Amino acid sequence: MASLDSHVLMKLVSFYLSTLLVSTLVSSETTCRGFGSIISFGDSIADTGNLIGLSAPGEFPLSAFPPYGETFFHYPTGRFSDGRLVIDFIAEFLGFPHVPPFYGSNNGNFEKGVNFAVGGATALESSFLEKRGIHCPRGNISLRVQLESFKESLPNLCGSPSDCRDMTGNALILMGEIGGNDFNYPFFHHNSFEEIKELVPFVITTISSAITELVDMGGRTFLVPGNFPLGCSVIYLTLYQTPNKEEYDPSTGCLTWLNEFAEYYNDQLQTELNRLRKLYPHVNIIYADYYNALFRLIKEPTKFGLMNNPFPVCCGLGGPYNFSVGVSCGNKGVGCCDDPSKYLNWDGIHMTEAAYRLVAEGLLKGPYAIPPFDWSCLSSEVKNKESLDTQYSLMNM
């Protein structure tokens, strides 16, 4: 990335200090909360089976087929990975069962959590995007739709209005990751950069409005992820491959301009979260720095037990990264690596369980949660876990 001039540097320093100040104020007013459950919204990064639940027979997504789920569950669960996701490791850390999907769960046990995240979901309504020529292949499964499903399900989840307010207030609410597909869909079709950049304030306003609505319903703790380093995603490295070496970060091989877009979005999101923190000082709004939690793995993969080259895909076929657009993991004839635990990339878009575990550790134990979680009220056994790679059989009690 090019060097920064003094004006830009001062702007970044000012932004960092304001974020630090607000985060410190929030942290000083927030004591450790022993969460009662997890409520999740989002897309495929957090989907634990909802897309399957919404799919008609014969139209199941590829996440419904092997080798998805092979590492931990040993069968496909609808998760877009070989095993667990960030949400699963958070649940395990808190001593909860894995958060069940809401859609398609007729008799689901939602006592310790409920998940509305759907693979392919957008923050914005599909009609909004379609008017701009952006097609949503999964239809309208937007953040608004997920939030309405949550509101409609409340009588069955918690009963009386006061009980529901208590449930929402005692929950850790995961707001995503959501919004990534709003950019992915137009980027995948090579829409203009400026056109896509214009979507940023709309996406952030939508996320902010959902948080505000949940605060009004009693929500007190939110974990709000930013976007991953898009320029390091294998699908983007394939779609935007170029002989122009100046477009790549020489230290990582990632596409610089796409990472700069992700950084811009994340900065705008954090600015809005700072505004919400000032507006709701009694609410703990935590920014999940997915960008840097993953970027460190790309810069120094062997330090984290991954193979030296972070880009080859574990489940894929062809191309310089073992990935070809249109030849997807889960299809017949598409091979899978022998040891996914050494890989960062799973299918060219999503990460392996090993990568998600490391991202989750970075959030729960620092330093990639702003402000950091306060685990002072949790048992020493939980706080001192050396790894989030726990046994599900012990948690599913």
For 215-246, what is each residue's pLDDT tens digit? Answer: 999 999 999 999 999 999 999 999 999 999 99
Q: What total of structural domains would you count in the chain?
A: 1
Residue 82: burial class (beta carbons within 10 Å; 0-12, 13-18, 19+):
buried
For 322-375, what is each residue's pLDDT tens digit? Answer: 999 989 999 999 999 999 999 999 999 999 999 999 999 999 998 999 999 988
Relative to beta strand 335-336, strand 171-175 is: unpaired
Range of the domain at 94: 34-389
Of all helices (H) and strands (E), which one includes residue 39? strand 37-41
For 49-64, what is each residue's pLDDT tens digit? Answer: 999 999 998 899 999 9
Q: What is the DSSP string of 223-259?
A: EEE----GGG-HHHHHHT--S-GGGB-TTT--BHHHH
Residue 102 forms part of a structural domain: yes
* 99 pLDDT higher than 70: yes
Is residue 253 within 8 Å of 344, Cβ to Cβ?
no
* 122 pLDDT higher than 90: yes
Q: What is the DSSP string of 101-162?
A: BSTT-TT---SSEEE---TT--SS-HHHHHTTT---TT-S--HHHHHHHHHHHHHHHT-SHH
Residue 329 forms part of a structural domain: yes
Residue 183 forms part of a structural domain: yes
pLDDT category of residue 17 using cuts at 50, 70 and 90: very low
- The 8-class DSSP code of residue 97 comes to P
Residue 117 forms part of a structural domain: yes
Q: Could you give the 3-state DSSP secondary structure of residue 345?
A: strand
Over residues 125-148, the mean pLDDT reads 95
Percentage of the residues of the chain whose pLDDT score is greater than 70: 86
Reported pTM: 0.89
Q: Which two tokens stand for residue 66?
A: 């092997």
Structure confidence at residue 8 (pLDDT): 38
Residue 18 forms part of a structural domain: no
Residue 159 forms part of a structural domain: yes
Percentage of the residues of the chain whose pLDDT score is greater than 90: 80
Residue 115 forms part of a structural domain: yes
Of all helices (H) and strands (E), which one includes residue 316? strand 315-316
Q: Could you give the 3-state DSSP secondary structure of residue 83?
A: coil
Residues 6+ apart with CB under 8 A from 338: none
**Domain containing residue 207: CATH number:** 3.40.50.1110
pLDDT category of residue 381 using cuts at 50, 70 and 90: low
Structure confidence at residue 93 (pLDDT): 96
* 68 pLDDT higher than 90: yes
- For the chain, the residue count is 397
Is residue 47 within 8 Å of 117, Cβ to Cβ?
yes
Structure confidence at residue 47 (pLDDT): 98
What are the residue numbers of the active site?
Answer: 44, 347, 350
Residue 17 forms part of a structural domain: no
Distance CA 52, CA 386 (A): 34
* 303 pLDDT higher than 80: yes
260, amino acid identity: E
The count of other CB atoms within 10 Å of the CB of residue 296 is: 16
Structure confidence at residue 159 (pLDDT): 84
Structure confidence at residue 374 (pLDDT): 87
Distance CA 152, CA 150 (A): 5
* 150 pLDDT higher than 50: yes
* 116 pLDDT higher than 50: yes
pLDDT category of residue 16 using cuts at 50, 70 and 90: very low
Weakest mean pLDDT among 40-44, 60-64, 150-154, 392-396: 392-396
Is residue 38 within 8 Å of 112, Cβ to Cβ?
yes
